[in-house]
Amino acid sequence: MKQRQELEKMGNRILAASRTDLFLSMRFLGPALDALDCVMDVSTRTLGTDGVSLRYHPDYVFRTWMAHPYRVNRAYVHMLLHCLFRHMYHVKEYEDIGLWNLCCDIAAESVLDSMDSEAVRVCPSDLRESWYETLNREVSVLTAEKLYAWFYGQKRDAYLEEQLRREFAVDDHSFWERLEDEKEKPPENQDLPQQSPEDDWNDQAKRLKEDLESRGSEAADEYGTLSRILRAVYRKRTDYRKWLERFSVLREETKIDPDSFDYHFYYYGLSLYGNMPLIEENEFCESRKVETLVLAIDTSASCQPALVQEFVNETVSILKSQESFFRTVDIHIVECDNQVQRCMHLKRLDDIDAWKESFTVSGGFGTDFRPVFQWVRDMQNQGALQSLKGLLYFTDGYGIYPKEATPYETAFVFWKEADEEEVKVPDWAQRLFINSEPDV
């Protein structure tokens, strides 16, 4: 027992010294550095975190500190980055947990290698430099989510992935799986509302993001790509489901309106005349829903067919929602690459399933957004689309945009993995995202 206490005392002293070294050289991480308790844990051969504690094997910490103190510093920041990016809280969302772990390590190490701090600076290996060049070209912003999507879409190479694991792995991720098991257990005290560790790290990341953005570019070398990754992970995005409410209209709809029904007259009539009510339910009520809509789909070669199909599936679920649309509608679906390829006019929501089943990507050439807007003008000149309030255009963002603002609201819709910094739309239009994360 005494030996264990001595080992833990020495391990905590080493990690405290590492934390002090990091605080002096990387002050912007100050609050995050204080967020993890250090706990000796011989169930691991190295060290890791569960989002609450930094758990370590004393032998690993002693040997690493004696040989290369900076490696302890890097491991400390590596785990903090996992927490700030909330990697451990999303393990069960991914089919290949091994690949998710690899992508999380690459994301954390890429940030560390971009930081100009003596406390964590090392010379990256040729293998790392080569892969950073490839990934920055293919993925752009190296978040774990984007990396996973890219690797998962490639022809898998088990030998290569194992080579990358050995290159980028630092900490023990087994604590993450234990954390998922803990989630399934009911809380000990259900009556006391408590903020979860994930929410705590969400708050930490928000504050750090705002702090780094306020510093501007003068300190960019110090924190490297951290600010950019935080913006990508914690970006504020508008879900196009919610945006539909902005151009809904008020119209009478045939259905019982309970809000306008007076039960006093109803029951009075029943008590006075037996079974003869003096008032009946109003069969019409006013509803605010979407009536007229133009939905444009980019079917150019650069827009992946799988993502287009996902957009179609998502849109069908919205169109079939009675909370958003009248049963009689005026919805025009336009498929376009560098010219309008196909148009479909939906007059009833019952037609939406037929459209989904018959949908195929038409086109496959370059992207020019202007023909769709010219098509709308032509339709309005013919007397159609007079009540149009909004146009949604699903695209990957690469194409020729109209220069003039539209008299109706226009939004370009992107998939959730779209890079915010690369997505460029005219100032008069809005960017929307499918399956957006909640605003933070």
Instruction: Give pLDDT tens digits for 361-408.
Output: 666 677 899 999 999 999 999 998 888 888 989 888 888 999 999 998
Tokens for 71, please give them. 């490696």
Give domain status of residue 274, yes or no: no
Query: What residue type is assigned to position 328 of the chain?
Result: T
Q: What is the pLDDT of residues 219-245, one digit of tens each?
A: 677 889 999 899 888 876 666 667 766
SS3 346: strand
Residues 226 and 312 in one domain: no
Among 434, 420, 413, CA closest to 229: 420
Residues 220 and 246 in one domain: no
Residues 405 and 421 in one domain: yes
Region 280-298: what's the mean pLDDT?
A: 63
Most confident residue range from 176-185, 324-333, 335-344: 335-344
Residues 55 and 34 in one domain: yes
Backbone φ and ψ of 368, nearest 5° = -140, 115
Q: What is the pLDDT of residues 38-93, one digit of tens each?
A: 999 999 999 999 999 999 999 999 999 999 999 999 999 999 999 999 999 999 88
Distance CA 239, CA 244 (A): 9
**Residues, the chain:** 440
Give domain status of residue 91, yes or no: yes
**67 φψ region: left (φ > 0), alpha (ψ -120 to 50), beta (else):** alpha
Give domain status of residue 100, yes or no: yes
Residues 178 and 245 in one domain: no
Distance CA 251, CA 248 (A): 10
SS3 326: strand
Give domain status of residue 57, yes or no: yes
Residues 201 and 307 in one domain: no
- 284 vs 76 pLDDT, higher one: 76
Residues 226 and 305 in one domain: no
Give domain status of residue 31, yes or no: yes
Domain that holds residue 429: 240-251+289-433
Residues 371 and 347 in one domain: yes
Region 176-194: what's the mean pLDDT?
A: 62
Residue 425: pLDDT over 80? yes
Question: Residue 164: which pLDDT band, with cuts at 50, 70 and 90?
Answer: very high
Residue 272: pLDDT over 80? no
Q: Is the dihedral of CA 74, 221, 231, 156 positive or negative?
A: negative
Distance CA 142, CA 140 (A): 6
Residues 227 and 247 in one domain: no
Tokens for 344, please give them. 């479909």
Residues 6+ apart with CB under 8 A from 64: 71, 72, 75
Residues 21 and 81 in one domain: yes
The predicted pLDDT at position 188 comes to 55
Give domain status of residue 165, yes or no: yes
The predicted pLDDT at position 331 comes to 83
Question: Residue 256: which pLDDT band, with cuts at 50, 70 and 90?
Answer: very low
- 271 vs 58 pLDDT, higher one: 58
- 5 vs 215 pLDDT, higher one: 5
- Strand partners of residue 343: 334
> Could you give the number of structural domains in the chain?
2
Residues 201 and 244 in one domain: no
- Cα angle value 301/302/303 (rounded, 5°): 95
The greatest distance separating any two alpha carbons of the chain, rounded to the nearest whole angstrom, comes to 97
Residues 37 and 142 in one domain: yes
Strands (E), 359-422: 390-394, 409-414
Give domain status of residue 439, yes or no: no
Residue 337 · residue 301 · CB < 8 Å = yes
Residue 57 · residue 42 · CB < 8 Å = yes
Distance CA 336, CA 342 (A): 7
CATH number of the domain that residue 417 is part of: 3.40.50.410
Residue 169: pLDDT over 50? yes
pTM, full prediction: 0.65
Tokens for 250, please give them. 């008020």
Residue 79 · residue 36 · CB < 8 Å = yes
Distance CA 300, CA 337 (A): 4
Region 310-333: what's the mean pLDDT?
A: 68
